[in-house]
Amino acid sequence: METADPGEASFDDSQVGEAAAYLKTLSHQGRLQILCHLCNKELSVSELESLLDIRQAAVSQMLARLRDENLVTTRRDGKTVYYALADHRTEQVIGLLHSLFCES
């Protein structure tokens, strides 16, 4: 992934606002954990509940925010709803965060 030289990068107000809103959504630990898990594969609410060890209501609330911000998509299979990342942008950001904070 090629990054721009910070001295050369230019953003207009709408782009800065969009980036700030995006980062605000990522700034919640639970939502960030959900996105990390969804980088690997699509998961249901119950699977995420088990992975995160938090109540279903909390997982659903976080997923609703991620869905409202267009960071995740859903797919229904019978009574089960599966969640996946909506685009590669989030996968790239999570990958960068992983390389910065999780790799030795």
Could you tell me the residue ranges of all domains in the chain?
20-98
pLDDT, tens only, 4-53 = 666 667 889 999 999 999 999 999 999 999 999 999 999 999 999 999 99
Which is nearest to 48 in space by CA: 26, 30, 73, 22?
A: 30
Host H or E run for residue 77:
strand 72-77
pLDDT in tens, 49-102: 999 999 999 999 999 999 999 999 999 999 999 999 999 999 999 999 999 999
Residue 70 phi/psi, 5° resolution? 60, 35
pTM for the model stands at 0.86
Cα separation, 20 vs 5, whole angstroms:
19
Question: 94: closest CA among 15, 49, 34?
Answer: 34
- CATH topology for 20-98 is Arc Repressor Mutant, subunit A (1.10.10)
